[in-house]
Amino acid sequence: MDFAPMSPLGMFLYAGPVSKVVMALLLAAAVWTWVLIIDGVFVLVRLSKALDRARAGGDIGVLWPIAAAASEASHAELPDETPHLKRERVLQQMNRAAREFMLDAEGGLPVLAVVASAGPFIGLFGTVWGIMSSFSGIAQTQDTSLAVVAPGIADALAATAYGLAAAIPAAIGYNRMGMAFGDLREKLSRYVVTYASSIAQTTESPQGG
């Protein structure tokens, strides 16, 4: 009797058709999870550096949509608008642009959440199917030997392993990156307030002179 090698590829090749579909889905989810995690880390590093440069008075870099929203709002002249109201309007426009900017930057987090929550259940489906196959084999052969139940049990455990391999990195990545994006969002919010105040003072000073 041939036994499945103790490797992800070996377990996949020796699995049944349904288990192969489950494992393929989970493997694709695991690969996509790591792609999103690597991309999310790259985005976090890039945005953090851009925000540090902007707060130091340097080039805003990738934060240009927020600065563009501030420039558009500051150049719009409304009748009977006080400097305080103008500052609030610029601040609202920048906050709206910042929220949209961060939503785009955090685009992979919802996918990680879905994989983290659904991965174990997809693996559980494969587990249940493998156990059902084992019982079906017992019923057909009227034999309870290990040779009869082993293939189904192997499929069940392999599907469970694939599910955990997809869900665990997704859960860790979602939690860690979620906290990192939260910290970045707070820093960006403080920068927006400072930037809006500086623009309001700049546009107000010529009138005061």
The C-alpha atoms of residue 53 and residue 37 are separated, in whole angstroms, by 24
Contact 149, 138 (CB under 8 A): yes
- Spell out a b/e string for 107-124, using b for 16 or more CB atoms within 10 Å of the CB, else e: ebbebbbebbebbbebbe
The C-alpha atoms of residue 132 and residue 129 are separated, in whole angstroms, by 5
CA atoms within 13 A on the CB side of 11: 22
pTM of the model: 0.75
Please report which residue ranges of 8-16 form alpha helices under DSSP H: 8-13
pLDDT in tens, the chain (209 residues): 445 555 666 666 666 777 788 888 888 999 999 999 999 999 999 988 888 888 887 777 788 888 888 778 777 777 776 777 777 888 888 888 888 888 888 888 999 999 999 988 888 888 888 777 777 767 776 766 666 666 677 777 788 888 888 999 999 999 999 999 999 988 888 888 877 777 666 655 544 44
The C-alpha atoms of residue 100 and residue 97 are separated, in whole angstroms, by 5
